[in-house]
Amino acid sequence: MAESGVVAVYARVVGAQIRSQVQYRGSFLLEVFGSMVTNALDVATVFVLFSVTGGLGGFGGTEVLLMAALSAVCFSWGDLVMGNSERLREYVRTGMFDSLLLRPLSSLAQLTAITFALRRVGRAVQGLVLYVIALLLADIDWTVGRVVLAVLAPIAGTVFFASLFVAGATVAFWWIESGEVANAFTYGGRDFTSYPSTMYGGWFGDLFTLGIGFGFVAYYPSLALLDHPDPMGVPSWLHWCSPVVALIAASLAALFWRVGVRHYRSTGS
Amino acid sequence: MPHVQVALAAAGFRRYATYRQAALAGAFTNVVFGFMRCYILLVVAAQAGGSVGGYTGPQLVSYVWLGQGLLAVVNSWTQLDLAERVRTGDVVADLLRPINPLWTYLWTDLGRAGFAMVTRFIVPVVVGAIAFGLYVPRHLLTYPLFLVSTALAVLVCFACRYLISLTAFWMLDIRGVTMFWVFVSGAASGLYFPLAILPGWLSAVLWVATPFPALMQAPLDVAVERGGLAHGLLVTGGQLVWVVLLLLACRWVQHNAVRKLVVQGG
């Protein structure tokens, strides 16, 4: 199939999806509005805790805002693109995944097209606005490198969260009732990255910050933008590495997805 | 009649006991969130000189881990089947039974909460106790009062979710209302942070004018003995008032909703 033909097919599937979602108009409008409030509430939660002592983990207001806003923009865009992939569980359980494999298009791209949620657009746009405001408020010594990072960091974080959503959904090929385990890393990751990584202690903090790589979503890019040394002693060149980490995450998720699809056995009904 | 209630509660218990792997997966997620929230609140407390909003370190640890355990018991994030049954028209079968669906759903939900109490509640509490060490209550009476307060929290949450499901009679699709409920009930119930951190007037408004603190903050305050036994009895009494008010609201709204019912399809 020609490239433009493939795009047209995706556009049609997404269009049909949008039309079906706006059928219950009252409910849909509430959802769009509700999803816009979400980011604001998430960031407000960070600042409720901030207000207790006027600082969090050794960082000031504009620095904490930058990390929270970067986390919000990465999660909301990752959620917009891949967030609904958790519905794969339903497709595997009922055997409906067969219908995706029968079509001459990538099964992963089809899954994202048929689970596209228009209501999340509001939230994603709002996250972006918040990030720009945080960049303007923060005390950043702008250089070419930092401008590039300021643009790349939200893209890298989005790719990182989208990879997590795909990897989490893929587990369903082996373990259908796994849904909530994935939530620990997707929604859990959103909460984790909203705060400076210095707040988490022990093996748990190291595992999530460096092991899984959540530090590279918002914490390290913010340190690089602010020219702030890491209180935990991670060398400063690593602060710039979030695009590399995102590429690794995406490759691993794609590989995992392929293995998962190979493993898929239909229900036979 | 008690026979019916016991049978319904047992059915609710068995339904969830069938999905043991899902319970395990959920408990794992609660544990991850427990570690996160616990570290965050302890750092804030350390910066503030040892306590936050009147909670000392061990009280905060208990607050976080009991809260993660209670989340699945109170279960504010999963909606009842009722709304989907209204949309499909299956609700007719519920209405034809010789028992008001309000009570059918209530007893089934109590059975579900019972199963959650012996599985989802235990796991985070044990992990929290091993990893951080929990606050040990001073009064023996705190233990039974915590159980009473938890049961009332389950009832308050059930009534709230039943009201949300009833909106399906008008809206058919309740995802929009559910979304609001999830965010507000999370932030205003004390799940994310103790409500005492908020400005005084705001937490006072939440306590007096909304049922949200009755979902989590009330049983958690009872468990960590915030304000002593007298305060615990007061918040438990407040929960009881909310249970009565909300169940009356459920009956009234349902009465109006059924009159409006149009069964979809053939």
* ipTM for the whole complex: 0.87
Residue A173 lies in a domain: yes
The domains of chain B are located at 2-259
Residue A143 lies in a domain: yes
Higher pLDDT, B218 or A109: B218
**How far apart (Å, rounded) are the C-alpha atoms in residues A92 and B163?**
33
Instruction: Taking residues A228-243, report their average pLDDT.
Output: 89
| Lowest model confidence (mean pLDDT) among A97-101, A143-147, B159-163 | A97-101
A204 to chain B: which residues are within 8 Å by CB?
Answer: 35-36, 39
- What pLDDT, on the 0 to 100 scale, is given for residue B262? 65
Q: What's chain B's average pLDDT?
A: 89
Distances (CA, A) of A258 to A108, A171, A261: 9, 12, 5
Q: Which domain holds residue A213?
A: 3-263
Residue A3 pLDDT greater than 80, yes or no: no
A53 to chain B: which residues are within 8 Å by CB?
Answer: 44, 47-48
Residue A268 lies in a domain: no
Instruction: Taking residues A8-26, report their average pLDDT.
Output: 81
Residue A103 lies in a domain: yes
Instruction: Taking residues B247-266, report their average pLDDT.
Output: 81
Minimum-distance CB partner of A30 among B179, B193, B198: B179
Residue B45 pLDDT greater than 70, yes or no: yes
Q: Is B51 helix (H, G, I), strand (E, B) or coil?
A: strand
Residue A269 lies in a domain: no
| Lowest model confidence (mean pLDDT) among A22-26, B110-114, B180-184, B245-249 | A22-26
Instruction: Taking residues A120-133, report their average pLDDT.
Output: 88
| Lowest model confidence (mean pLDDT) among A265-269, B43-47, B111-115 | A265-269
Higher pLDDT, B4 or B236: B236
Q: Quote the number of domains for chain A.
A: 1
A192 to chain B: which residues are within 8 Å by CB?
Answer: 36
Residue B265 pLDDT greater than 70, yes or no: no
Residue A23 lies in a domain: yes
Q: With bands split at pLDDT 50, 70 and 90, how would you rate the model's confidence at A14?
A: confident
- Is B197–A48 a contact, with Cβ atoms under 8 angstroms apart? yes
**How far apart (Å, rounded) are the C-alpha atoms in residues B261 and B266?**
14
- Is A178–B25 a contact, with Cβ atoms under 8 angstroms apart? yes
Name the nearest CA neighbour of A71 among A49, A39, A105. Answer: A39
Q: What's chain A's average pLDDT?
A: 87
Instruction: Taking residues A76-85, report their average pLDDT.
Output: 86
